[in-house]
Amino acid sequence: QLYVDGDLIGNTPRADVQVAPGAHQLRVVRDGFQPYEVAIRVTPGQELRMTDIVLQELKP
C-alpha cells in the first residue's frame, strides 16, 4: 500500500501520483515486511520517479 502524508493512495505498483509542491512523507507498507518511509520535497513543475523500492522482510 502507498501512503502520502498519511493518506492511503492505493496499492503498488502505482503510477502518476500527483502531489502539491512542498514537503511530503511517502510510506510503502506490506504485511510481513518492514515499511519503507521517505521524506521528499517537490518543487513546482517537478516530476519525481521512485522505482525499485525493496522492502525488507520482517524476521519472526
pLDDT tops 80 at residue 30: yes
Residue 9: per-residue pLDDT = 92
Q: Is residue 59 part of a domain?
A: no
Read off the amino acid at residue 5.
Answer: D
Q: What is the pTM of this model?
A: 0.84
Higher pLDDT, 11 or 15: 11
Q: Is residue 58 part of a domain?
A: no
Residue 51: per-residue pLDDT = 83
Range of the domain at 32: 2-42
Q: Is residue 33 part of a domain?
A: yes
Question: Quick one: average pLDDT of 26-48?
Answer: 94
Q: Is residue 14 part of a domain?
A: yes
Q: How would you write the chain as a 3-class SS string?
A: CEEECCEEEECCCCCCCCCCCEEEEEEECCCCECCEEEEEEECCCCCCCCCCCCCCECCC
- Domains held by the chain: number: 1
Q: Is residue 35 part of a domain?
A: yes
Question: Quick one: average pLDDT of 11-34?
Answer: 90
